[in-house]
Amino acid sequence: MPFRLGPYLAETTVGMGVLGAIISGTNAVAKNAERVRLGTITPADAAIDVGKEALKNGVVTAATFVAVASLGGELAVSVGLTLVIGSTLKYAWDRGYEAVDETLKIENSATRADTLGADLPLSTKIS
């Protein structure tokens, strides 16, 4: 008897998260393979992007599964809830990631400026 991965993973919250990670990871691999081929991204950056997408979407899928399962409802209601909750969680994750990324860029820029300024003679430093 063959092993059926989909139904097996769909039995638990963690399994749903893994399924979401697998699906989004394969989509990210396809997207990044073309970007690497065109030279717009390095293979290392592509691998990082695949990991980030798989992690993000795995967590969002698991959280959506928990929310929809706890709310219950008919098929149409459950599908609608899945779309709304999943989209909202992914949007919040993306905006949160962008905010953290921007903060880190600003802090890194300030640190580099301080480091560069420390090497200058006192007469050339800007206050």
| Cα(16)–Cα(65) distance, integer angstroms | 7
Task: Return the closest-CA partner of residue 57 out of 13, 89, 83, 30.
Answer: 89
Domains of the chain by residue range: 5-124
Q: How many CA atoms lie within 13 A of 32 on its CB side?
A: 20
Neighbours of 25 (CB within 10 A): 17
Backbone φ, ψ for residue 41 (5° rounding): -150, 150
Residues 24/64, Cβ–Cβ less than 8 Å: no
Tokens coding 79? 């599908």
Strand, helix or coil for residue 12: coil
Angle at 56 between CA 51 and CA 61, to 5 degrees: 125
Angle at 54 between CA 97 and CA 36, to 5 degrees: 90
Spell out the per-residue pLDDT of the chain, length 127, in tens: 788 887 888 888 999 999 999 999 999 999 999 999 999 999 999 999 999 999 999 999 999 999 988 888 898 998 999 999 999 999 999 999 888 888 888 877 776 655 555 555 555 545 4
